[in-house]
């Protein structure tokens, strides 16, 4: 992909946050609203879902904003069409799998639809294993993080979606409610009995998974060859260790690795690279400009996150865009108003005279409520305030990785 020049409206917006981070200068008040944009957003009560008019939440009226309405308006990077995760907490696997599908094409390889549920199966196994080893002191939930998906792929390999769907008995949509309840009750029952036999626990969990998802294949047929999932991973030429994750928090030293302190980091990984907000945002944009896609971990329980309009932005009644900086971002994480809700795949960008936007491939149901069907449009301010983590190939972020000390 042709390298584009760095100066751009989006970088100008990012630079506002850099003043607060690097210079300690007090930011100016809210800038005048651009032409055609409202100075103040209005709060309204909107239906929680399109078919539940009696259940409402406080939302932003975005009708006066000039915003994208079509994924075709973006500079788009290759990705396979959006797919729905159904009634599951597996967005992390859908986002990471979509990233690898894009990576195959970026590396000049074949277009392949990979199985998300193969990774989900083995993630459940490893969650159970850690729960037993820690004698119950390990978070049990459906959620996880995209870099955990990479760890499972490195450990257990990959298969194609056609090799393993995780759907049995003619089902066409995922619903992991019964699976997760049985999984959780089984493990908490072991804890109540003080039964910490790892082999027996893993065997019991696999029996539950096999019953709900089906047993994953030991070998698959690929071009006349019989390969294990790990051998197939090698044949694809994907290296899960090539993908690095970034965060931006004041409670950790910048330019050092640290723990992403959210429940879905259930294995307490400290392999997150902590950057100042300006560099965090700029690194994501540069990766996209260079032709690399990225996964994001975001908060989607916000008044400016609206499936009906396919849009995520920060309304002025929450915080004017010019006031978003490292401190305002940290405050919302520290007081619990920014939460790690969802993982998505960032597959494009758009720079206009007034705003920067990111094209988001999304597996959650509300991405199908609007016209874009499987996509969201994130304005730059939403990413700066509400995107907690991003993960991309290491070659996309060489400049910032060079600022981290090499491991001893």
For residues 390, 93, 266 and 218, what is the CA-based torsion angle, rounded to 10 degrees? -140
Cα atoms found within 13 Å of the Cα of residue 256, Cβ hemisphere only: 8
Q: Domains plus CATH for the chain? A: 9-30+44-79+240-401 (3.90.70.10), 91-236 (3.90.70.10)
What six digits make up the tokens of 285?
A: 């944009």
In this prediction the pTM is 0.89
Residue 130's pLDDT is 98
CA 347 to CA 366: how far, in whole Å?
Answer: 18
Residue 345 has a pLDDT of: 98
What is the pLDDT at residue 407?
Answer: 59
> How many residues comprise the chain?
408
What is the rounded CA–CA span in Å between residue 142 and residue 297?
A: 15
Q: Residue 65 has what pLDDT?
A: 87
Radius of gyration of the chain (CA): 22
The b/e string for 292-310 (b: 16+ C-beta within 10 A; e otherwise) is bbbbbbbbbebbbbbbebb
Q: What is the DSSP string of 70-117?
A: -GGGSEEPP-PPP----BSS-HHHHHHHHHHHHHHHHTT-----B-HH
Q: How confident is the model at residue 58, as a pLDDT? A: 87
In the prediction, which pLDDT does 50 show?
72
* Residue 351, φ and ψ in degrees, nearest 5: -120, 125
pLDDT score of 53: 63
Predicted confidence pLDDT, tens digits, the chain (408 residues): 433 344 344 444 444 443 333 333 333 333 344 444 456 788 988 877 776 666 788 888 888 888 999 999 999 999 999 999 999 999 999 999 999 999 999 999 999 999 999 999 999 999 999 999 999 999 999 999 999 999 999 999 999 999 999 999 999 999 999 999 999 999 999 999 999 999 999 999 999 999 999 999 999 999 999 999 999 999 999 999 999 999 999 999 999 999 999 999 999 999 999 999 999 999 999 999 999 999 999 999 899 999 989 999 999 999 999 999 999 999 999 999 999 999 999 999 999 888 899 999 999 999 999 999 999 999 999 999 999 999 999 999 999 999 998 755
Cα-Cα-Cα-Cα torsion 112, 87, 146, 122, nearest 10 degrees, comes to -80
Query: How far apart, in whole angstroms, are the C-alpha atoms of residue 204 and residue 222?
Result: 31
Cβ–Cβ under 8 Å, residues 245 and 394: no
| Per-residue pLDDT at 51 | 67
């Amino acid at each position: 992909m042709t390298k584009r020049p760095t100066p751009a409206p989006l970088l100008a917006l990012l630079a506002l946050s850099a003043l607060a981070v690097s210079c300690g200068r007090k930011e100016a008040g809210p800038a005048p609203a651009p032409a055609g944009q409202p100075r103040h957003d209005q709060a309204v009560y909107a239906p929680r879902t399109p078919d539940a008019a009696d259940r409402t939440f406080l939302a932003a009226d975005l009708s006066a904003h000039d915003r994208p309405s079509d994924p075709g308006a973006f500079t788009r990077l290759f990705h396979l069409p959006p797919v729905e995760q159904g009634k599951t907490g597996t967005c992390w696997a859908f986002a990471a799998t979509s990233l690898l599908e894009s990576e195959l094409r970026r590396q000049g390889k074949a277009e392949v639809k990979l199985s998300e549920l193969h990774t989900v199966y083995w993630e459940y196994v490893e969650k159970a294993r850690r729960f037993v080893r820690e004698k119950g002191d390990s978070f049990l939930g459906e959620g996880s993080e995209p870099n955990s998906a990479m760890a499972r792929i490195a450990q257990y390999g990959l298969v194609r979606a056609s090799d393993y769907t995780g759907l049995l008995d003619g089902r066409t949509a995922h619903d992991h409610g019964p699976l997760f309840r049985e999984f959780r009750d089984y493990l908490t029952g072991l804890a109540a009995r003080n039964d910490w036999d790892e082999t027996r626990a893993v065997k019991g969990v696999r029996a539950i998974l096999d019953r709900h998802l089906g047993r994953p294949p030991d070998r698959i047929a690929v071009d006349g060859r019989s390969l294990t999932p790990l051998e197939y991973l090698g044949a694809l030429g994907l290296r899960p260790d090539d993908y690095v994750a970034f965060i931006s928090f004041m409670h950790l030293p910048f330019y050092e690795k640290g723990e992403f302190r959210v429940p879905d980091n259930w294995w307490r990984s400290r392999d997150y690279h902590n950057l100042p907000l300006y560099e965090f945002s700029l690194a994501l944009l540069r990766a996209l400009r260079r032709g690399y896609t990225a996964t994001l971990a975001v908060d989607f329980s916000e008044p400016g996150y609206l499936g009906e309009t396919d849009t995520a932005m920060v309304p002025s009644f929450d915080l004017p865009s010019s006031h978003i900086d490292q401190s305002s971002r940290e405050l919302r994480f520290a007081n619990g108003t920014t939460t790690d809700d969802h993982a998505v795949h960032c597959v494009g960008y758009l720079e206009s005279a007034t705003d920067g936007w990111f094209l988001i491939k999304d597996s959650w149901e509300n991405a199908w409520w609007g016209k874009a069907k499987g996509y969201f449009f994130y304005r730059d301010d939403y990413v700066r305030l509400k995107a907690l983590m991003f993960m991309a190939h290491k070659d996309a972020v060489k400049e910032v990785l060079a600022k981290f000390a090499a491991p001893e």
